[in-house]
Amino acid sequence: MNPIKDVVIVGGGTAGLIAALYVKRYFPQFNVKIVKSSELGIVGVGEGSTEHWKMFMDDVNINPIELINETKATVKIGILFKNWNYPGSTYIHSILTPSSFISHQGIVEIYNRLILNNSSKNPFILNNQFEDIYYQNKVSLSQNLLPSNQFHFDTFKLNQYLIKKCLEREILVKDFYIQDVNLNEKGYIDSLITSTNTLIKGDFFIDCSGFKKILISKLGARWKSYQDYLPMNRAITFSTDLNLQKNIEPYTLTTALSSGWTWKIPTQERYGNGYVFSDNYINPDEALKEFNQHLGTNTEKVTKDIKFEAGKVDKFWIKNCIGIGLAGSFAEPLEAQSIGFSIIQSKLLTESINSWMYNPLNICNKFNKTLDGIFDNIIDYVQLHYLTQRKDSKFWKDKPFKLTEFNKNTIPNFALGIFSPFDFPQHAMFKHLNFYQVYYGLDLLNISKIKFQQLNSFKEYKQEWDGIYNETINNPKPYNISHIDYLKLIKENYSS
């Protein structure tokens, strides 16, 4: 295998820019080129990140304060779920460690005690700061001025910012529409042909062309549908104005409706809104009407109407090409896992590419197996959110999907509050603490059996854990300010 000199990335959306920054950071000797088409644009519906965004910023040296200011981002402390388990229900998915000296497995023990002692039935008991701080549209301050590792983005401003970072790091960005793909005699990609007959040669190619899958499909990748496990297949979106008198929420709001769910994502300038639904139960016109009623708006035309199918390619990495982002897989928008998965893919690529040059088939197989496991974990976790008590519409009565093997096999133990890191693959995006919060929010935990277990099986540890629990709930509350004041503070700090 000849050494890699030229890496070509097709697609200038979030996935392509993340991949470019990762490759250039770890292989500065590579010539990295992004080929994007202004004719096609980007999906751009307003996005939230997961905890993996901090890993990305740390790995590629991005200043988070600069990022917030230049992308008009806001803080995301978690996701508030409304009406999912039943109309009027609420819960929060927000992973904040109750105490810095407790292991992740220990946090499960604290979670169990929190719910057993939750006499007021506080839906936010697993994050007891949420009700007092974040639900009041405030954020807590720390020494580094970052209350969270997650953010809400205006996708277009994020795109402009990441392109700027690429150009600063001598990553070429070219505007071309790819017309065809040339393969060599061994079936590897040799070059790309643009609509202007420009030839773009490369040694390694990264397909970030979205649902078109321009490169990876040329190498024979086939789509594997996961529609049997996730029922959603369509999303409509539009933006609405902020009301700054009510401050800005530091969380994503998702609300279950008749045939799916909505998101509401605040940036510094507007809300991004979307309704994700199954068009087997509601058509787009009816969905828009219901969406307007929910938001109190009268929008006549949506910004985007996106059809999709949950699934992935059968092989993410084939020969000298890897599919990242929507070119490799898509579950659905819930839990903002798409960007996080692109980050994981890009990082794993940089950790694998040297070995690939000497043992390509073995590395491709290992990489694909790892990514298959991560994607299955995403499907397991997203599906979990639909195991609700709602039966107030045909969609929620039918629950038109079959359980994944993971969910089928783990429900008995998880319902008892027995969650272990060993139940999850090494690189899983969502692990036991994530699953626990949804189990609690959907009343899937068997409280009486958890109590019996705590009183009997673990009674020898009771005094020790009670001490840790009491210290956790009596921790002093952090200093907090309104979200708007925080953003002003960040702007002043950035300007100075």
Instruction: Name which of 458, 474, 416, 456 is nearest 115 in CA terms.
Output: 416
472 pLDDT above the threshold of 90: no
pLDDT of residue 40: 66
Q: Specify the CATH superfamily of domain 6-73+151-226+313-381.
A: FAD/NAD(P)-binding domain (3.50.50.60)
User: Between the CA of residue 418 and those of 91, 340, 421, 469, what are the distances in Å?
Assistant: 20, 26, 10, 18
Angle at 208 between CA 206 and CA 214, to 5 degrees: 85
Average pLDDT of the residues of the chain: 91
The span from the CA of 415 to the CA of 411, in Å, is 6
Report the run of H or E that residue 277 belongs to, with start and end. Answer: strand 270-277
- What is the band of 244 on the pLDDT scale with cuts at 50, 70, 90? confident
User: Between the CA of residue 287 and those of 241, 306, 330, 368, 394, what are the distances in Å?
Assistant: 21, 13, 22, 37, 14
Show me where the domains of the chain are located. 6-73+151-226+313-381, 75-149+229-309+392-473
- What is the band of 241 on the pLDDT scale with cuts at 50, 70, 90? very high
User: Between the CA of residue 21 and those of 274, 431, 469, 487, what are the distances in Å?
Assistant: 29, 27, 42, 26
- What is the band of 493 on the pLDDT scale with cuts at 50, 70, 90? confident
Instruction: Name which of 332, 289, 292, 288 is nearest 309 in CA terms.
Output: 332
Chain segment 3-50, per-residue pLDDT in tens: 899 999 999 999 999 999 999 999 999 999 999 988 766 555 567 898
pLDDT of residue 141: 84
Query: Is the separation of the CB atoms in 237 and 46 below 8 Å?
Result: yes
Query: Is the separation of the CB atoms in 257 and 290 below 8 Å?
Result: yes
CATH architecture assigned to 75-149+229-309+392-473: 3-Layer(bba) Sandwich (3.50)
Amino acid found at 426 = Q
Instruction: Name which of 332, 335, 330 is nearest 252 in CA terms.
Output: 335
- What is the band of 97 on the pLDDT scale with cuts at 50, 70, 90? low
- What is the band of 243 on the pLDDT scale with cuts at 50, 70, 90? confident
Q: Do domains 6-73+151-226+313-381 and 75-149+229-309+392-473 have the same CATH topology?
A: yes
Instruction: Name which of 388, 480, 489, 412 is nearest 138 in CA terms.
Output: 480
pLDDT of residue 108: 86
pLDDT of residue 95: 73
Over its C-alpha atoms, the chain yields an Rg (Å, rounded) of: 23
Chain segment 347-375, per-residue pLDDT in tens: 999 999 999 999 999 999 999 999 999 99
Q: Does the predicted TM-score (pTM) go above 0.75?
A: yes
Burial classification of residue 254, based on how many CB atoms lie within 10 Å of its CB (0-12 exposed, 13-18 middle, 19 or more buried): buried
pLDDT of residue 453: 76
The span from the CA of 126 to the CA of 104, in Å, is 14
The span from the CA of 43 to the CA of 376, in Å, is 24
